[in-house]
């Protein structure tokens, strides 16, 4: 009897738990769409695009020193675990004239992980403001054209987030100055959207066969 109980605990129980969570991701693991169409990177000095990519979109602002810690948090907590996924990128929108800041930041971030999927795009304050407003959030850029909040954009340029967050209701962005926000909320949401695309890809392949 004891051996049977031990076998159930060791083998059957983990399988049941796995099936429970797997079914949960399949049936409920869709990240809500909060904005239907986010602006593209037209007008910016870059060849990067939002269309066709799962993007973490951030706005550095011109007071670069205040954003370095935020970029480091994002790099370690979000980019590093997911950068090897196909079509995943981080896009940092930077005001014109911040090239030296970006050069130094690349060196710091690149010392920790391959930053090949970080894109730094330069634009005027007007273009940056227009792109930010296309997100249609309840947040604002500060006087430098930046914000500590970052945003999840899907391949169709839709803003994804939470429409029933326990703390604030509708959650448009994630605060990179808060490691807890990145760890406890954003990381889970990135996992969900990546799982969405993996499941969709598997379904398409199965239908073709």
What are the tens digits of pLDDT across the range 89-103?
999 999 999 999 999
Question: Is residue 7 located within the same domain as residue 56?
Answer: no
pLDDT band at 11 (very low <50, low <70, confident <90, very high): low
The pairing of beta strand 146-153 with beta strand 159-160: antiparallel
Question: Is residue 13 located within the same domain as residue 107?
Answer: no
Region 184-195: mean pLDDT is 96
Nearest to 60 by CA among 9, 109, 6, 113: 109
Region 29-55: mean pLDDT is 95
Question: Is residue 42 located within the same domain as residue 13?
Answer: no
Count the helix, strand and coil residues of the chain and give each as a percent rounded to the nearest 5. Answer: 45, 20, 35
Nearest to 26 by CA among 206, 199, 209, 205: 199
Question: Is residue 55 located within the same domain as residue 108?
Answer: yes
Q: Looking at the predicted structure, is the pLDDT value of residue 198 above 90?
A: no
Q: Which residues contact 159 (CB under 8 A, 6 or more apart)?
A: 33, 34, 35, 38, 135, 136, 137, 151, 152, 153, 172
Beta strands in 45-145 (DSSP E): 54-60, 88-95, 118-123
Question: Is residue 79 located within the same domain as residue 57?
Answer: yes
Question: Is residue 1 located within the same domain as residue 38?
Answer: no
Question: Tokens representing 109?
Answer: 């971030």
Question: Is residue 37 located within the same domain as residue 73?
Answer: yes
CATH of the domain at 54: 3.40.30.10
Neighbour-count burial of 72, counting CB atoms closer than 10 A to its CB (0-12 exposed, 13-18 middle, 19+ buried): middle
Q: What is the pLDDT of residue 197?
A: 87
Question: Is residue 131 located within the same domain as residue 90?
Answer: yes
Question: Is residue 61 located within the same domain as residue 164?
Answer: yes
Q: Which residues form the domain of 60?
A: 33-208
- Dump pLDDT digits (tens) for 25-41: 433 468 999 999 999 99
Question: Is residue 124 located within the same domain as residue 57?
Answer: yes
Q: What is the pTM of this model?
A: 0.83
Question: Is residue 14 located within the same domain as residue 44?
Answer: no
Q: Looking at the predicted structure, is the pLDDT value of residue 6 above 70?
A: no
- Dump pLDDT digits (tens) for 111-128: 999 999 999 999 999 999
Question: Is residue 59 located within the same domain as residue 113?
Answer: yes
Domain count, the chain: 2
Q: What is the pLDDT of residue 16?
A: 42
Question: Tokens representing 74?
Answer: 């994002």
């Amino acid at each position: 009897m004891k051996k049977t109980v031990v076998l159930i605990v060791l083998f059957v129980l983990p399988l049941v738990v796995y099936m429970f969570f797997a079914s949960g991701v399949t049936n409920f693991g869709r990240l809500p769409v909060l904005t239907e169409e986010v602006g593209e990177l037209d007008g910016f000095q870059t060849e990067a695009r939002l269309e066709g990519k799962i993007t973490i979109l951030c706005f550095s602002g011109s007071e670069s020193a205040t954003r370095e810690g935020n970029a480091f948090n994002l790099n370690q907590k979000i980019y590093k675990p997911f950068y090897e996924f196909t079509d995943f990128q981080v896009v940092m929108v930077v005001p014109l004239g911040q090239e030296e800041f970006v050069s130094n930041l690349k060196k710091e971030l690149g010392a920790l992980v391959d930053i090949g999927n970080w894109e730094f795009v330069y634009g005027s304050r007007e273009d940056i403001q227009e792109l930010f407003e296309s997100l249609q959030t309840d947040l604002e850029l500060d006087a430098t054209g930046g914000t500590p909040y970052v945003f999840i954009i899907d391949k169709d340029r839709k803003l994804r987030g939470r429409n029933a967050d326990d703390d604030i209701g509708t959650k448009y962005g994630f605060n990179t100055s808060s490691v807890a926000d990145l760890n406890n909320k954003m990381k889970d949401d990135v996992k969900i959207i990546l799982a969405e695309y993996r499941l969709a890809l598997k379904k398409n392949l199965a239908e073709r066969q």
